[in-house]
Amino acid sequence: MKKAALWLADFVGEGEVFTKDELRETFPGVSQIDRRVRDLRDHGWIINTRSEDLDLELDEQRLVRIGGNVWVAGYRSPIKVNGPSPKQRQEALTSSNHRCMACGAAAGEPFFDEVLTIAKLTVVGSPGIGWIACCQRCKKGESLPSSKAEFLADYSLLTISEKRVFAEWIHADVRESTPLDRAWDQFRRLTEEERPGALYIVEAEVQGRRGRYSA
Ligand SMILES: [Zn+2]
């Protein structure tokens, strides 16, 4: 990849076109030289093929931009940063109770203000905090701003005990999970065999209460 990068930078140049044949002639016997060139895209290089640039012929590619100087000793890619390890990822998801740390959206559930979109969580690095769970909207900065009026409309519907929990969240600057949240999450993770039994308990209790109230 380093040699291919040097050749592209020195002999092709930005804005210029090269062909697969030229690559193979320049690097005879290097297997997968095409792939080595494609890998440069992970380092900020922009290399277009006919699918991005219709002026090109099928076997042509254009070096649009020279990216990271991969041939320099000790070079580190400006783009490809190391993601979280599987353990760090799991810890971030567990500690946030599988919710976005910014907006509280739960993984696999629709956004409350965009019911046709399901929240997917990724784990992103946050300076000073470490790895945190973040939904696709907050990651892109696309979460819709709210207004004080909207906030008060929903806040006024909370019970006193919910308002107490809410105040605790504000002080902790994080949405801590409540027994209600945890029960919901546990229920969703039950196996298919266990779910009917749990559902029976829930339904029996709710219906029992309904019966009592109506009596
Ligand atoms: Zn979010």
Rounded Cα gap, residues 71 and 5, in angstroms: 7
What does the pLDDT read at residue 55? 87
**59 CA → ligand 1 middle, Å:** 43
Average pLDDT over residues 152-170: 92
Rounded Cα gap, residues 146 and 149, in angstroms: 8
**3 CA → ligand 1 middle, Å:** 43
For residue 82, how far is the Cα from the chain centroid? 14
Query: Would you give the DSSP letter of residue 154?
Result: H
**96 CA → ligand 1 middle, Å:** 12
**164 CA → ligand 1 middle, Å:** 23
User: Is pLDDT of 112 > 90?
Assistant: no
Q: Which of 23-37, 134-148, 189-203 is least confident?
A: 134-148
**43 CA → ligand 1 middle, Å:** 28
How many Cα atoms sit within 13 Å of 127 on the Cβ side?
Answer: 0
pTM above 0.85, yes or no: no
**112 CA → ligand 1 middle, Å:** 11
**99 CA → ligand 1 middle, Å:** 8
Rounded Cα gap, residues 120 and 100, in angstroms: 9
**190 CA → ligand 1 middle, Å:** 25
**143 CA → ligand 1 middle, Å:** 7
Residue 125: CB partners within 8 Å, gap ≥ 6?
A: 81, 84, 131
**144 CA → ligand 1 middle, Å:** 10
Instruction: Phi first, then psi: give them for residue 9, nearest 5 degrees.
Output: -70, -40
**56 CA → ligand 1 middle, Å:** 41
Query: 76 or 104: which carries more pLDDT confidence?
Result: 104
